[in-house]
Amino acid sequence: MLLEGKVAIVTGAGSGIGAESARRFAAEGAAVVCADIRLARAEETAQAIVAAGGRATAVEVDVRRAADNEAMVNAAVQHFGGLHVAFFNAGTIRPGNAVKLSEDDWDVVMDTNVKSIFLGAKYAVPVIADSGGGAIINTASVSGLRGDPAGIVYGASKAAVINLTRCLATDHARQGIRVNCICPGAIETPPVQRMLADPAAAEATGRSHLLGRIGRPSEIAAAAVWLASDESSFITGEALVVDGGLTSRAALVNMGDPRPRKD
């Protein structure tokens, strides 16, 4: 019970990493505010937690809006009496390069992936501090560490999340708040599954990870729980890569390798 007695917010809790993390936080003892722009999906996650004996409530949140972020934090206080952990996980992706990507798509991704964390922290930090301190975890990506084809805004947004994490960690350490982010590789979430609908693409993507497969939402949830808990009490300002070895291998991996090239 790594989060016994804690109150947590998880954004993007209606599916994928967010839903799995909300359930895992609750299983570890936290009361969870399940936030999603799709209220019905957030309610499904909250109901599953309650059915399993946990505590949870659902809120509809557009993470790009200040008022929604404020209401989300207020819900944690109203329902559970405080806030100790915020997992700012909500995000989106729009493919395209600088020539083809529209300005509207740029703004949607930057607002959803970056501005949302700024707004979430604006309202969460004072309440976490008043609750005795705690942790903020942000979902970044290995795309914030490397360049992806046709991924100009997603990569830029996730790189921004990484340094935003460091800035928040620097600003709020003296308030007892640790701030870290997770950089997943390819994970079995609905957007990734749609992009990998072609079996050949799915197989090639799996092979690009040293472990030979893409990751599971539960594996990111496990990392998030650890970063939220006192087990990681001396870690802040860190970008934790959870990518099955995707970024560990050089592009020239086959040079000097006598085995037949398969990729």
Catalytic residues: 154
DSSP, res 260: P
Residue found by looking up tokens 């890569």 in the block: 241
- Which tokens belong to 92? 């989106």
The amino acid occupying position 173 is A
Instruction: Give how far Cα 175 sits from Cα of 32, 151, 204, Å.
Output: 22, 36, 45
DSSP, res 261: P
Q: Could you give the CA distance from residue 209 to residue 263 in angstroms, rounded to a whole number?
A: 12
Contact call for residues 6 and 84 (beta carbons, < 8 A): yes
Strands (E), 5-84: 7-11, 31-36, 55-60
Q: Which residues of 202-223 are buried (b: 16+ CB within 10 A; e: fewer)?
A: beebbebbeeeebbebebbbeb
